[in-house]
Amino acid sequence: DAKTTQPTSMDCAEGRAANLPCNHSTISGNEYVYWYRQIHSQGPQYIIHGLKNNETNEMASLIITEDRKSSTLILPHATLRDTAVYYCIVRALNNAGNMLTFGGGTRLMVKP
């Protein structure tokens, strides 16, 4: 699976959009971009994933650049409960390890 690079931490004001970037310059054509988050003391939670088109669900939007070398997770109206570590993961379906490789992630702090 391709390696990802994320900022270590970010702050966001409550009610504003949180834009979390991720670089994955070595991504392969069959690899998807996944985002998970981990709220303190809880297990990770799936947010969204995409291949090349932008995606939106009830939690967030995912914007993937045309060359697929980077992406941005957007939380449109961040709340205090969105404070968490956000993990960007790039992986192919059917990869032999069947595992998610969690890097350091971005620690998002939403402030009142």
Contacts to other proteins by CB under 8 A? 32, 34, 36, 41-46, 49, 51, 87, 93, 97-105
How far apart are the C-alpha atoms of 95 and 99, rounded to whole Å? 8
Q: How far is the CB of 14 from other proteins (least distance, A)?
A: 25
Q: How far is the CB of 87 from other proteins (least distance, A)?
A: 7
| Beta pairing, strands 70-75 & 84-92 | unpaired
Q: How far is the CB of 15 from other proteins (least distance, A)?
A: 28
How far apart are the C-alpha atoms of 4 and 26, rounded to whole Å? 9
Q: Which is nearer to other proteins, 12 or 91 (CB)?
A: 91
Q: How far is the CB of 36 from other proteins (least distance, A)?
A: 8
- Altogether, the residues listed in the chain come to a count of 112
Q: Which is nearer to other proteins, 49 or 69 (CB)?
A: 49
How far apart are the C-alpha atoms of 52 and 104, rounded to whole Å? 24
Q: Which is nearer to other proteins, 23 or 101 (CB)?
A: 101
Contact 39, 47 (CB under 8 A): no
